[in-house]
Amino acid sequence: MLQVEMNKKKVDAELDEMLAGYERDRTEVIMVLQDIQDKYNWLPQEALTYVAKNWQIPMTDMYHIVTFYKAFSLKPRGKHILQLCLGTACHVREAPFILDALERDHGIKNRETTDDGLFTLETVNCVGACAQGPILIIDGQMRGNMTQTKVGGIIRKLRKAHKEEVAENE
């Protein structure tokens, strides 16, 4: 699994600054967690403790919440986030075939991050672009009329770009 170093002091300081606008009321907790996830791409343990302490919510409740809502990830996510729409319209246009292709041909499994930390695959339900389904969102960019072949091209391109970046840095 992808490992990410977190520094508690640094997280505390960052969150102090980022969450200053909130009133520390219980009703805010889901949005606070969303903001944190937007920042780190996932919810590090340090951040959960921070919220529990500052919003005075027992740690058991915190876990109940972050595991109940699908928007939250307790594991670090990869450099590229792939979101495949499996909403009804995309389903009837064979989005599941693309899900299979991602795993079979590219080793990218649903709800997992690849060992190299490059890709995380998630599925979503209807993003409002059904007419262009199946839809794949790559780092927030929507791509329509997906096929297994197109997905293959996209993945290969991103892998290649990553390799070149690594090579350049060495």
Partner 1 sequence: MNKFASAEELTRYQGELKRKTNGALKTISLCGGTGCKACGCNEIHTKLVEELNLREIRADIKVTGCQGFCEMAPLIVIRPDDTLYIQVKPRDIPEIVEKSIAGNEIVDRLVYHDSDGKPIPKESDVPFYKAQLRLVSKKTPYIDPMEIDDYIALGGYSALAKVLTSMSPEEVISEVKKSGLRGRGGGGFPTGRKWESCRKAEGERKFVICNADEGDPGAFMDCALLEGNPHQVLEGMLIGAYAIGSSEGFIYVRHEYPRAVQTFSNALFQAGEYGLLGKNILGTDFSFEVAINRGGGAFVCGESTALMASLEGRVGEPRAKYIHTVEHGLFNLPSNLNNVETWATVPAIIDMGVEEFTKIGNEKNKGTKMFSLVGKIKNTGLIEVPLGATLRQVVFDIGGGIAKEKAFKAIQTGGPSGGLLPEGMLDLPVDFDKLWEAGSMMGSGGMIVMDEDNCVVNISRYFLNFLKDESCGKCLPCREGIRYMMEILEKIEKGEGTMEDLETLEEIAHTVADTSICGLGKSAPNPVLSSLTYFKDEYIAHIKDKKCPGGICKALINYYILEDKCNGCGVCAKVCTMNAITGKKDQVHRIDLDLCEKCGACLESCPTEAIVRR
Please report, as ranges, the residues that interact with ligand FES according to CB under 6 A. 85, 87-90, 126-127, 129-130, 133, 135
How many residues form the binding site for partner 1 (CB under 8 A)? 48
107-143: string of b/e by CB count within 10 Å (b at 16+)? ebeeebbbeebbbbbbbeeeeebbeebbbbbbeeeee
Q: Which CB sits closer to partner 1, 64 or 156?
A: 64
Among 2, 34, 46, 52, binds partner 1 (CB under 8 A): 34
Length of the chain: 170
Q: Smaller CB distance to partner 1: residue 8 or 26?
A: 26
In angstroms, the CA 137 to CA 143 distance is 6
Site for partner 1 contains 68 (CB under 8 A): yes
Q: Tell me how crowded residue 55 is: count the other CB atoms within 10 A of its CB.
A: 20
Least separation in angstroms between residue 40's CB and partner 1 is: 16
36 binds partner 1 (CB under 8 A): no
